[in-house]
Amino acid sequence: MLAERIRKIKPSGVRKIFDLAKKVKDPIDLSLGEPDFDVPKEIKEEAITWIRKGFNKYTLSAGIPELREKVKEHLRKKGIIFEEVMLTAGVTGGLLLCCLGLIDEGDEVLIPDPYFVMYEYQVMLAGGVPRYIDTYPDFRLREERIRDLLSPRTKAIIINSPSNPTGTVYSREELEMVARIARERDLLVISDDIYDRFVYDTPQAPSLGQIYEKTITLGGFSKSWAMTGWRLGYLAGPKGIVESLITLQQYSFTCPPSFAQKAALLALDYDTTPMIEEYRKRRDLIYEGLREKYEVVKPQGAFFIFPKAPNGKGERLVERAIAEGLFMVPGKVFSQRSTHFRICFAAPSEKLERAIEILKRLA
C-alpha cells in the first residue's frame, strides 16, 4: 500500500531518543536540538496581540510583504546575494520546497558528512541520490573529497554552517572553494544558515550566500528566538527559482503561520547577544569537561558537540549513557559512520555538569 519513496524513510533517530527520555523521571536530556529558553516575552506578547486582533487567517503564500522586506534588509546587511525572498514553514519547509522543486529523479546532491538528518531523507523523497562528502576527522571541507564525488548527475551541494551536529563553522576559504567548484559545474548550492547567530569565536559566520550567486539561502526564527513550534523561516535566492517555489508552496504548505509572521517583525530587531554569550559559556563547559577523556573537536558555533566514542562505538556508548539517565543521539543518525555521538548543550549548566560526570565515568 505504501509508496516506494516512503519505504526508504526511517523514523528519526533524534525523535526516538527524545521520546524515550520523556518516559524517564528527571532525565538528563541532551538529545533534541532546540533552545532551552522560551520565546522572549516581548515577541510572545506581539504574537498574542495579533491573534487577538484576528490576524489568524491565510496570508499570501510568499508571506506578508512587510516581513519579506524586513528579511531582505537583514540579508543585505549580512552581504547575502539574492534577488527574491519568500517566507516558509520553518527552514525544514524551505528545504523540502527546494528538494521537490529542484531535484529530479536520479539527480545527485552532495552533503558533507556528518549532516543534519533532514538532508538525506528530503533528497531521497524528491527522488534524488545523496552523496556524502567525508569531513572526518576534523569536520573540514577538502576539495579533493568533493571533486571525487562529482558526476554528470550532480545537481546541488547542501552546506550547513554553523553545523548540526558538529558545531563546525566553515572558513571563508572553504566556502570559496565550494563556490569555485559549483561555478565550474553550474551547480546549485543550498546554504542552511539557521544557526548563523550562534557563533562563539568570530564576529560572524561566513555564508556561501555571500560568495556564489546560485545559492539558495535558508534561515529562520526557530533557534535564535526559540520559536521552534511556530514554524517560520525564509528562503532567498535567484528570482526565477524563488517564484517557482512560491507556486509550489501554494500547493503544499499554503502559507506560513500568520501570527508568527507579525511577531517575527519584532524578533529581527531583538538583541540575542546575552543568550549567545550564555551558550558560549556552555560550549566551553562541555568541551573542557570532555576533552581529556574523549577525542573531540571544539565547536565554533550552533549548540552541539560531536565527540568520538571510546573504541569508535557510538551506539554502544549511548546505550550505556541511557542506562545512567543521560540521553544523547548516536552519531550514526547523522552520518555514514557510527563512531561518534551528539550532545546538544542547550541545557542548564547543572545538567551539563552531571552529563560530564557520567561520560567521564563511561570513558
Q: Which residue has the higher pLDDT, 33 or 97?
A: 97
- Taking residues 83-111, what's their average pLDDT? 98
Average pLDDT over residues 35-48: 97
Same domain assignment for residues 77 and 198: yes
Question: What CATH code is carried by the domain that includes residue 311?
Answer: 3.90.1150.10
| pLDDT value at residue 11 | 74
Same domain, yes or no: 257 and 278: no
pLDDT in tens, 273-317: 999 999 999 999 999 999 999 999 999 999 999 999 999 999 999
Query: Do 324 and 297 sit in the same domain of this protein?
Result: yes
Instruction: Say yes or no to pLDDT of 245 above 90.
Output: yes
Statement: residue 20 has pLDDT above 80? no
Q: What confidence category does residue 88 fall into, taking pLDDT thresholds of 50, 70 and 90?
A: very high
| The domain boundary residue, chosen from 267, 294, 309 | 267
Let me know: does 198 contact 226? Beta carbons within 8 Å: no
Query: Are 165 and 263 in the same domain?
Result: yes
pTM attached to this predicted model: 0.95
DSSP state of 171: -
10 pLDDT band (50/70/90 cuts)? confident
Can you give the pLDDT at residue 185?
Answer: 98
Task: Output the pLDDT for position 13.
Answer: 64
Q: What is the pLDDT of residue 177?
A: 98
Of the three residues 267, 298, 323, the one that is the final residue of a domain is 267
pLDDT at 12 over 80: no
166-175: per-residue pLDDT in tens? Answer: 999 999 999 9
Q: Residues 93, 217: one domain?
A: yes
User: Do 151 and 162 contact (CB within 8 A), yes or no?
Assistant: no
Judged against a pLDDT cut of 90, whether residue 232 lies above it is answered with yes
CATH of the domain at 112: 3.40.640.10
What span, in angstroms and rounded, lies between the C-alpha atoms of 265 and 59? 15
Output the average pLDDT for the chain: 95
Co-location of 20 and 154 in the same domain: no
The answer as to whether 297 is a domain residue is yes
Q: Stretch 338-347: mean pLDDT, rounded?
A: 97
Condensed to tens digits (0 to 9), the pLDDT of residues 136-185 reads: 999 999 999 999 999 999 999 999 999 999 999 999 999 999 999 999 99
**pLDDT, tens digit, 9 for 90 and up, residues 182-225:** 999 999 999 999 999 999 999 999 999 999 999 999 999 999 99
Q: What is the pLDDT of residues 246-266, one digit of tens each?
A: 999 999 999 999 999 999 999
* Domain end point (choices 251, 267, 283): 267
Residue 10 sits in the same domain as residue 111: no
Angstrom distance (rounded) from CA 337 to CA 142: 18
Within-domain flag for 301 = yes
Has residue 232 been placed in a domain? yes
Is 79 contained in some domain? yes
On whether both 133 and 187 belong to a single domain, the answer is: yes
Instruction: Give the CA radius of gyration of the chain.
Output: 20
Please tell me whether residue 190 adopts helix, strand or coil conformation. strand
Please indicate, yes or no, whether residues 154 and 124 belong to a single structural domain of this protein.
Answer: yes
Q: How confident is the model at residue 26 (pLDDT cuts 50, 70, 90)?
A: confident
DSSP codes, 232-270: -EEEEE-HHHHHHHHHHHHTTT-S--HHHHHHHHHHTTS
If one counts every other C-beta atom within 10 angstroms of the C-beta of residue 10, the result is: 11
Question: Same domain for 8 and 123?
Answer: no
Centre a 10 Å sphere on the Cβ of residue 40 and count the other Cβ atoms it contains: 19
Span 59-66, average pLDDT: 98
Is residue 42 a part of any domain in this protein? no
Respond yes or no on whether the N-terminal peptide bond of residue 114 is cis (omega within 30° of 0).
Answer: yes
Residue 32: its pLDDT value, please?
Answer: 87
On whether both 128 and 208 belong to a single domain, the answer is: yes
Number of structural domains found in the chain: 2
- The partner residues of 341 in beta bridges, in order of sequence, read 330
Domain that holds residue 276: 4-32+272-362
Instruction: Give the model's confidence band at 5: pLDDT under 50 very low, under 70 low, under 90 confident, else very high.
Output: confident
- Structure confidence at residue 7 as a pLDDT band (50, 70, 90): confident
pLDDT at 18: 65
Residue 14 reports pLDDT greater than 80: no
Looking at the fold, whether 335 and 255 belong to one and the same domain comes out as: no
pLDDT at 25 exceeding the cut of 90? no
Rounded Cα–Cα distance for residues 33 and 244 (Å)? 31
**48 is a domain residue:** no
Share of the chain above pLDDT 90, in %: 91
